[in-house]
Structure 1
Amino acid sequence: MSILDSVIFCAFLCLVGGIATASQGPVNSKLGQYTGQGLSSTIVFALGAVASCVYFLIEVKGRPPMNLAMMAAKAPWWAWTGGVIGAIFVIITILVIPKLGAGTTTAIIVCAQLVFSCIIDNFALFDMPHRQYTLWRGLASVGLIGCVGVIAKF
Structure 2
Amino acid sequence: MTWFLLVPVALAAGTAVSMQFGVNSQLRAVAGGPVAAAAISFIVGTTALVVLTLALNGGLPSFGDVAGAPWWVWTGGLLGAFYVFASVVLTPRLGAATTVAFILTGQVLASIAIDHFGLFRVAAQEATPPRLLGALLIVAGVFLVQRF
- TM-score, length basis structure 1: 0.90
Letter in 1 for 2:11: L
Residue in structure 1 matched with residue 98 of structure 2 by the alignment:
104
Question: Structure 1's 64 and 30: CA in aligned 2 closer, same or farther, altered over 3 A?
Answer: closer
Stretch of structure 1 that moved more, 68-77 or 24-33: 68-77
Q: Does 1:40 align with 2:34?
A: no
CA contact under 8 A between 2:116 and 2:125: conserved in structure 1? yes
Residue in structure 2 matched with residue 95 of structure 1 by the alignment:
89
Q: Structure 1, unaligned stretches of length 5 or more?
A: none
| In structure 2, C-alpha distance between the alignment counterparts of 1:79 and 1:112, rounded to whole Å | 20
RMSD: 1.2
Q: How does 1:1-154 map to 2 (within 5 A)?
A: 5-35=1-31, 36-60=33-57, 62-64=58-60, 68-154=62-148
| In structure 1, C-alpha distance between the alignment counterparts of 2:60 and 2:94, rounded to whole Å | 43
CA contact under 8 A between 2:53 and 2:59: conserved in structure 1? no
| In structure 1, C-alpha distance between the alignment counterparts of 2:140 and 2:5, rounded to whole Å | 31
What is the count of residue pairs matched by the alignment? 147
| In structure 1, C-alpha distance between the alignment counterparts of 2:8 and 2:90, rounded to whole Å | 29
Residue by residue, what CA displacement relative to the aligned partner does 1:28-80 show, whole Å, maximum 9, x if unpaired? 011101212221111101001101101111221x2346xx3332112111101
Identical positions, percent = 33
| In structure 1, C-alpha distance between the alignment counterparts of 2:26 and 2:60, rounded to whole Å | 36
Letter in 2 for 1:43: I
| In structure 2, C-alpha distance between the alignment counterparts of 1:34 and 1:51, rounded to whole Å | 21
- TM-score, length basis structure 2: 0.94
Letter in 2 for 1:9: L
Stretch of structure 1 that moved more, 121-130 or 19-28: 19-28
Letter in 2 for 1:56: T
| In structure 1, C-alpha distance between the alignment counterparts of 2:28 and 2:52, rounded to whole Å | 26
Q: 1:10: how far off?
A: 1.4
